[in-house]
Amino acid sequence: MSWLEFVIECESEAIESIESILLTSGAQAITLLDAGDQPLLEPLPGEMPLWSLVRIKALFARDIDQGHVESSLHEQKAGYYGYWQVLQEQEWSRVWLERFKPTRYGQRLWIIPSESQPPSSTAVNIFLDPGLAFGTGDHATTNLCLCWLDGTSLQGRRVLDFGHGSGILAIAAKKLGATYVMGVDIDPQAVIAGRQNAKNNELNSNIEFSDHTQQQDFDVVIANILAGPLRNMAENLSTSLRPGGKIALSGILEGQITEVQQAYSPWIMWETMQKLEGWVLIAGRRREAQMEQSR
């Protein structure tokens, strides 16, 4: 299978807006480099590249509408120079494996390529390789979600991962002690990838991946998508959560916080917020039934 790579050069000030447009348009993975091709792998929290000219490499499925991606950038007046190139699966996998090293998130979680040795056998180790769906912790939003899961008590909890992609968050939740995890994604390739990645991590029971929610009344809901879909799914995600249950949403830019919070306000009391590279995770609890009725 081959992929399309969109290579863009832009000013560093335009990174956040261009990255957001690329993700909304269907980018499966994004890499930032300076003019000398030095990769930005895992920056420190809040750290941004200092280069004046940045190269962005965005990976898309082979059948992506290139014209739509470019027109979306033009509509936002995002100044850039860019070109498309075909990247074969074998080449992408090799580059990805050379770049991706074992990385820790929070206190316990490690994301590790399957060919690497885990730094600690007593840690919570998740093994992932490139495949049909992406999500390895490399992006700020996934980083935020993994750290939130690591800091949340999941023992004995039922967890919903909405928009699961590679299944990384669902797998992390299960390994962190959840009794049951449901991953939901409308992309059939993501469902296949989630199931395979769970199997590769020796998770064979009480974790499911589907294109629709099969169980309600979860103790924890996590969704790492984008602000628009999060707003549209506000009632469905909120009512999938039991009263008092915890919810975490990411894929939100700093300027979108208020609109997302307001969409969920009939059901959710917001409690905490974490930020990384211009992206935000907001977390809260579902209101008790009588509090919802009184609003």
Contact 128, 168 (CB under 8 A): yes
Q: Which two tokens stand for residue 27?
A: 């980018």
Please state, for a pLDDT cut of 70, what percent of the chain lies above it. Answer: 82
Q: Is 103 or 168 the better-scoring residue by pLDDT? A: 168
pLDDT of residue 89: 62
Distances (CA, A) of 9 to 31, 71, 95, 195: 12, 16, 20, 36
Q: Which pLDDT score, from 0 to 100, does residue 118 have?
A: 84
Residue 175 near residue 150 (C-beta atoms within 8 A): no
Percentage of the residues of the chain whose pLDDT score is greater than 90: 46
Question: What torsion, rounded to 10 degrees, do the Cα atoms 238, 143, 100, 28 define?
Answer: 40
Residue 13: its pLDDT value, please? 77
Segments of the chain assigned to CATH 3.30.70.120: 2-97
Spatial separation of the C-alpha atoms in residues 30 and 96, rounded to whole Å: 11
pLDDT given at position 90: 58
**Angle at CA of residue 105, ends 245 and 159, nearest 5°:** 25
Backbone angles phi, psi at 268, to 5 degrees: -115, 135
For residue 235, give the amino acid letter: E
Copy the structure tokens of residue 108: 């316990």
CATH superfamily to which 136-294 belongs: Vaccinia Virus protein VP39 (3.40.50.150)
pLDDT tens digits, residue range 180-212?
999 999 888 789 889 999 999 999 999 999 998
**What's the pLDDT score for residue 32?**
75
Task: Name all contacts of 111-117 with Cβ < 8 Å and 24+ positions apart.
Answer: 111/136, 111/137, 111/146, 111/168, 114/200
Average pLDDT over residues 46-67: 74
**Structure token digits, residue 258:** 């208020």
Distance CA(30)–CA(19), nearest Å, equals: 8
Compute the distance between CA of residue 183 and CA of residue 176 in angstroms, rounded to an integer: 15
Element (H, E) at 123: none
The fold of 2-97 is Alpha-Beta Plaits (3.30.70)
Dig out the tokens for 32 from the structure: 């930032």
Q: What pLDDT sits at residue 171?
A: 97
pLDDT for res 49: 43
Over residues 232-283, the pLDDT tens digits come to: 999 999 999 999 999 999 989 888 999 999 999 999 999 999 999 888 999 9
Q: What is the mean pLDDT of residues 4-15?
A: 85
Is 277 or 168 the better-scoring residue by pLDDT? 168
Domain with CATH 3.40.50.150 in the chain: 136-294
- What is the pLDDT averaged over residues 21-37? 75
Of 39 and 291, the structure prediction assigns the larger pLDDT to 291
Give the chain's mean pLDDT: 84
Contact 160, 222 (CB under 8 A): yes
The structure tokens 């860019």 sit at 82
State the pLDDT at residue 34. 60
Q: Check pLDDT > 60 for residue 63.
A: yes
Residue 162 contacts by C-beta under 8 Å, 6 or more apart in sequence?
184, 185, 213, 221, 222, 223, 225, 233, 237
Helices (H) and strands (E) in the chain, counts: 10, 15
Summarize pLDDT for 108-123 with one digit per residue, the tens: 999 988 778 888 878 9
